[in-house]
Each structure stands twice: as structure tokens, then as C-alpha cells.
Amino acid sequence: MSAATLEVRNLCTHFFTRAGVVKAVDDVSFTVRRGQVLGLVGESGSGKTVTGFSIMGLVDAPGRIVSGSILFQGKDLATVSEEEMRHLRGNRIAMIFQDPMMTLNPVLRIDTQMIETVLAHEKVPEEEARRRARDALGMVGIPSPEERLKSYPHQFSGGMRQRVAIAIALLHRPDLIVADEPTTALDVTIQGQILAEVQKLCATTGTAMIWITHDLSVVAGLADDIAVMYAGKVVEYGDVGEVLDKPLHPYTHGLIGSVPSRNKRGEPLRQIPGMTPSLLNLPEGCAFRARCPRAQADCAQRPELTEWLPARFARCHHPHREEAAAA
């Protein structure tokens, strides 16, 4: 098993609002190893983006990391200085945002931005940097990359802009990429092409990746491990094939339904009856209780993330253990 690039341990990121404390991320733990992809899934508002922002050091007031650690190659990102974090963001860690304009500079031509990115990391001749920029655009499916290099961001469509932002993240060859639903708006063919490039990058350069998405088919095809979030917590975590085939947690069970994982391509996450609880006043005990078909009296006690089977974790008092254990 390869070395851990990132180890998130008991991370809590809360927002101190006038209405109260929003526990957006509350006791989140997972590991991403070199060259591996972790799929981070969950309903809207479950804390995926705040988890990504916490790792990147991008949580702003009224939010802050209140406890836990984010060990990146052994260094705790939760405690490094803002200056050091900025340096890491430019060099070793990259984020692909939902909005590509978080990455792109509107007043600079794409070639300027991309060539600078290469030169910031490596001492290569400018011609070589330009060639790499052009190849990166080609890799994400941008036609006539040589010509498009001369364009400004506003001259691209939204989908093309997102591809440029992805190309820039790949150019960095960082040790860790956090990608926040970057391909959701793209058409299926392009999405497939980009995912294949991303997978290749991870395998060849050892980049570790967190891929945030709503789309189980993306996770099934791309990720090695999966972490399922619900109301700010990881409720299930493990090998992607095992979790999708034999989920332990009733929430994961509901999301996936009874469709075997090999048939999951193109399947969106299922809707589960009931409302996501407000993070402002979460119920005591298990946050999924009001929607859970397996709930019992003891679910009023808070469940901890527990290793029910080897390397298979669930935060639940009554997981689907027998089904999951059966081969």
C-alpha cells in the first residue's frame, strides 16, 4: 500500500453565525494515498465543499477549523501560517473549483497564465513551457489548442473555461488535487475524456486526488476509495467497489438502491424521502434518524465511525453488516 499523502483526522470546521453555530464539517476523517483518488459524495449541504476549503486553507470568517488535523505529507495544514499555506497552494496542492473563474485571471491571456504556471515550478525554456501548455489544453479536449492559447478567459464558453482551469491544475503536477464537481456541467464524452486524463495523471505522477461529486457513476469509474458525507459527518468510508456493492450505512444503502455497481454508470444519487436536518440544530444522536428505516431507540445515542469489517467504516448502530459480510 502506498504512502499517505493526506490524512484528515477528526476535522471540525464550524461557522459562527448570528443564528448559531453551523457545524458544516464535524468529525471528518479519511486518508488519501499517493496516486489514489478518494470520491467524496453526499447530498447538497452535507459539507463537501467546506471539507475541501478546509484542506486548502480557504475557510473565511465566520468559519474556522475548530479542531482536528489535516496532515499533508506529515505537516498539519490546520496549523501552518497563512504564508506557508499560500506557498503550498501555489506549488504542492491545487484545487479545481466549481467556478473556473476562481482559478483564471480574467485580464490575462491563457498562454500567459499557463506558461507562468509551468515556469513557477520548473526551470524549463519558455518554448517547452508553451508546448506543455498546449498539450494540456489538448488533453482536456480543447480544439486548436495552439490558437486557443492566445485567447482571454471571456472568449471561452463556460464549459471550455472549466476545461482550461482543469488543464492548469494538471500542469501544476501537484502532490494533491481537490476537485469540487468540476465536470458536472460538461457533456458526458468530454467528462469521460477528462476523467481518463486525471486518472492517468494520478497513476503516473503519484498525485493524490479528492474528487467531490454527486454522480455515483463518476465515483465508480474514477475513485479507489469513497467517503459518504451526511450532515457534516462521514457516515461511510471504504473501498469504492465494496461500498457501492455492499453498503453498510442505511444512508448509503438508500442512495445506491438495489442497482449492482456494474450497472451504475449514469445513475445519479437516489433521492431519499425526508429532509436533510438543519446543521444549526442537529438532533441528539444519529442525524439520519428521522429518515432511517432501521432506526431504533439506541439511535438517540451518537454513533461513532466504526470499523465493522476490515477497512470498512460506518457511523451507525445497526449497519447492514450481514449483507456486507456475505461474499
Chain residues that interact with ligand ATP, rule: CB under 6 A: 15, 17, 22, 24, 42, 44-50, 62-63, 279
Which residue in the set 5, 36, 49, 252 belongs to the binding site for Mg ion (CB under 5 A)? Answer: 49
User: For residues 36 and 149, what is the distance between their CA atoms, to the nearest angstrom?
Assistant: 30
* Residue 207 makes contact with Mg ion by CB under 5 A: no
Please give the backbone phi and psi of residue 195, each rounded to the nearest 5 degrees, phi first: -65, -40
Angle at 64 between CA 71 and CA 77, to 5 degrees: 20
User: Is 28 within 8 Å of 52 (Cβ atoms)?
Assistant: no
User: Between residues 47 and 247, which has the closer beta carbon with respect to ligand ATP?
Assistant: 47
User: Between residues 48 and 317, which has the closer beta carbon with respect to ligand SF4?
Assistant: 317
89 binds, among Mg ion, ligand ATP, ligand SF4, none (CB under 5 to 8 A by kind): none
Buried b or exposed e, range 257-267, using 16+ CB within 10 angstroms = eeeebeebeeb
Q: How far is the CB of 61 from ligand ATP (least distance, A)?
A: 8
Q: How far is the CB of 318 from ligand SF4 (least distance, A)?
A: 4
Other C-beta atoms within 10 Å of 74: how many? 9
Separation in Å, CA 159 to CA 154, 163, 198, 267: 12, 6, 17, 22
User: Between residues 120 and 300, which has the closer beta carbon with respect to ligand SF4?
Assistant: 300
Helices (H), 106-181: 110-121, 126-139, 145-148, 158-171
295 binds, among ligand ATP, Mg ion, ligand SF4, none (CB under 5 to 8 A by kind): ligand SF4
318 binds, among ligand ATP, Mg ion, ligand SF4, none (CB under 5 to 8 A by kind): ligand SF4
Residue ranges in contact with ligand SF4 by CB under 6 A: 250, 286, 288-289, 292, 294-295, 299, 303, 316-318
Residues that bind Mg ion (CB under 5 A): 48-49
